[in-house]
């Protein structure tokens, strides 16, 4: 990797900016009840299902597990059912966020503010839905949260889920940024592989749902971003370029 000055920070959302997964799990279970399903995703099951990126993809995956090879519903009807469940889940999750059930992880807000003040460009690269992103960041950063980020790539613009690098490649393209000049922030093995697949040095802050993942190739693996400043990021990024 060639040496380049750090000029941009690119953040994943779920699990990275905030510990969202417990709220997502609760919202899924509420949606299942409202849809008349007897499904219940406990922590162990949900941890396993997080290996599948994307909420609708996760529902489809579990549907195939519990139904085996049975084709009790045609493809179109299944897609409609999955969409309805996901819509219920999204509405429930937004309500939980608005009630204050989800907070930014330690150090995140301070780093965003200091990085912006020091001239670093900021972006979001996630394959979660735009509604989920807006609910979280509107609550955490205020109504003008989008102005903090030069680019926001999400499930609506990057349909290929992590570990595919599409969302990062599109972010880099829109920013006209060489990967050597950026630093990605992730919490999961799939996210790390997506960022590395786009050529980005990646700092990982695992959470309770992802601590068991393989983070080989990460620039640093930290418990959170508390006390981490732009100076440390520049120094670590420079190491990656040597």
Which residues belong to the active site?
Answer: 12, 14
CA 192 to each of CA 108, 121, 200, 211: distance values in angstroms, whole numbers, following the listed order: 18, 20, 9, 13
Hey, which bits of the chain come out as E strands? 8-11, 121-125, 151-153, 182-186, 201-204, 220-221
In the three-class reduction of DSSP (H, G, I as helix; E, B as strand; rest coil), residue 220 is classed as strand
CA 56 to each of CA 4, 28, 85, 89, 171: distance values in angstroms, whole numbers, following the listed order: 38, 10, 8, 10, 23
Are 114 and 229 spatial neighbours (Cβ–Cβ below 8 Å)? Answer: yes
Q: What is residue 14's DSSP assignment?
A: B
Structure-token pair, residue 233: 């990021």
124 dihedral zone (left: phi>0; alpha: psi -120 to 50; beta): beta
Biggest distance spanned by C-alpha atoms of the chain: 57
Q: Which residue has the tokens 């992880």?
A: 105
Pairing of strands 182-186, 201-204: parallel
CA 148 to each of CA 143, 153, 164: distance values in angstroms, whole numbers, following the listed order: 11, 14, 26
């Amino acid at each position: 990797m060639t040496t380049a000055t750090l000029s941009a920070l690119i953040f994943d959302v779920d699990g990275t900016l905030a510990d969202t997964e417990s709220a997502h799990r609760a919202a899924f279970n509420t949606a299942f009840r409202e849809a008349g399903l007897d499904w219940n995703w406990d922590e162990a099951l949900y941890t396993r299902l997080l290996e599948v990126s994307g909420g609708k993809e996760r529902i489809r995956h579990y549907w195939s597990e519990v139904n085996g090879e049975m084709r009790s519903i045609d493809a179109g009807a299944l897609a409609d059912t999955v969409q309805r469940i996901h819509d219920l889940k999204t509405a429930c999750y937004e309500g939980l966020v608005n009630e204050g059930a989800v907070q930014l992880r330690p150090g995140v807000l301070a780093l965003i503010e200091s990085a912006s003040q020091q001239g670093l460009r900021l972006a979001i690269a996630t394959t979660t839905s735009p509604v989920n992103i807006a609910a979280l960041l509107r609550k955490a950063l205020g109504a003008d949260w989008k102005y903090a980020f030069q680019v926001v790539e999400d499930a609506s613009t990057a349909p290929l889920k992590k570990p595919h690098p599409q969302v990062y490649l599109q972010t880099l393209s829109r920013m006209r940024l060489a990967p050597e000049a950026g630093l990605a922030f992730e919490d999961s093995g799939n996210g790390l592989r997506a960022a590395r697949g786009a050529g980005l040095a990646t700092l990982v802050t695992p959470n309770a749902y992802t601590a068991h993942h393989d983070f080989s190739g990460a620039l640093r693996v930290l418990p959170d971003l508390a006390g981490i400043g732009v100076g440390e990021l520049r120094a670590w990024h420079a190491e990656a370029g040597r």
